[in-house]
Structure 1
Amino acid sequence: MITLEDFDTYPDFPVEGILFYDIAPILASPERFREACIQLMPPRDAQVDIVAGVDARGFIFAPVVAQTLDVGMAMVRKAGKMPGVDLLESSTEIEYGSRDLAVSAGSIEGRHVLVIDDVLATGGTARAVAQMLERGGAASVRFSFLIEIGDLPGRDALEGYAVTSVVVV
C-alpha cells in the first residue's frame, strides 16, 4: 500500500509556499511502482474505454493502467507539444502559474475516460482536462490521482466526477 512515507518532500519548490511531493522513491522501487499502478486502477464496475495521462507525471502511470485494463491511452500534453489539427485545447490557473493543455479530439469522442495524474491540489488542471474532454464528446470522465492535498479545493473543483486518490495529505 502506498503511503505518505513513500514520497520525498521538498518545501518551497518550485516556488515559495509549495510543499512538493516527489514520486521518485516510488519509481525507484518496482514493488512500490507496481502497487501505485494497482491503486490507481478504477473500481471493477467502472466503464473505461481509454486512459488519459496528464503531462508529465501522469504519463508514467497511465500506460501501465491502460495496458492492465486492455484499453488505449491518450496524452494530455502541454500546449504546443502535440502535433495535429484536430486538437482540443484548454487553459487554467494552477497553484504557481498557468497551464495550457491539448489533447487529440479523435481519441475521445464517445469514450469513457479515466484521467490519471500525480497530484490533485487546487483542481485547476483536472477541471480544465474534464471540460476539454467533455467538449470533445467524452461519454464520461473520472479521475485517479497518486496524491491529493486535502487542505486545497481540488476535490470541490471536481464535484460531479468520480475521484480516487491513493494518498490524501
Structure 2
Amino acid sequence: MITLDDFDTFPDFPVEGILFYDISPILASPERFREACIQLMPPAGAQVDVVAGVDARGFIFAPVVAQTLGVGMTMVRKKGKMPGVDLLESSASIEYGSTDLTVSAGPIEGRHVLVIDDVLATGGTARAVAEMLTRGGAASVRFSFLMELAGLDGRAALEGFEVTSAVVV
C-alpha cells in the first residue's frame, strides 16, 4: 500500500507556498511502483476502454495500467506538444498558474475513459480534462490519482465524476 511516507517533500517548490510531493522514491522501487499502479486501477467491474495519462507524471503510470487492463492509452498534453488536426483543447487554472491542454479526439468518442494523474490539488487540470473528454463524446470519464490534497478541495471540481485516490493528505 502506497502511503504518505513513500513521497519526498520539498517546500516552496515550484513557487513559494507550495509543498511539492515528489514521486521519485516510488519510481526508484519496483515494489512501490508496482503497488502504485495497482492502486491506480479502476474498481472491479468498472468499464474502461482507454486510459488517458495527463502530462507529465500521469504518463509514467498510465501505460502500465492500460497494458494491465488490455486497453489502449492516450495522452493529455500541454498545448503545442501534440501534433494533429483533430485535437480537443481546454485551459486549466492550477494552484500556481494556468496551462492549456490538448488531447487527440480520435480515441475518445463513445469510449469509457480512465484518467490517471499523480496529484489532485485544486482540480483545475482534472476539470479541464473532464471537459475536453466530455466534449469529445466520451461515454464516461473517471479519475484515478496517486495523491489527493484534500485541503484544496479538488474533488469538488470533479462533481459528477468518479474519483479515486491512493493517498489522501
User: What interval of TM-score do these two structures reach, taking the shorter chain for normalisation?
Assistant: over 0.9
Q: Distance in 2 between matches of 1:92 and 1:150?
A: 19
- Deviation string, structure 1 residues 58-114 (Cα, Å, up to 9, x no partner): 000000000000000000000000000000000011001101000000110000000
Q: Distance in 2 between matches of 1:9 and 1:136?
A: 36
Q: Deviating runs (4+, > 6 A) in structure 1?
A: none
Aligned residue number for residue 18 of structure 2: 18
Kindly provide the amino acid, as one letter, of the partner of residue 82 in structure 1: M
Aligned-residue sequence identity (percent) comes to 85
How well do the aligned residues superpose, as a CA RMSD in angstroms? 0.4
Q: Distance in 1 between matches of 2:136 and 2:5?
A: 38
- Residue 11 of structure 1 deviates from its aligned partner by 0.4
2:106 partner SS: helix
Q: Distance in 1 between matches of 2:166 and 2:153?
A: 17
Q: Distance in 2 between matches of 1:22 and 1:34?
A: 17
Aligned residue number for residue 66 of structure 2: 66
Aligned residue number for residue 104 of structure 2: 104
Q: Distance in 2 between matches of 1:97 and 1:67?
A: 33
Aligned length: 169
Aligned residue number for residue 122 of structure 2: 122
* Unmatched tracts of structure 1, length 5 or more: none
2:46 partner SS: coil
Q: Distance in 1 between matches of 2:104 and 2:149?
A: 29
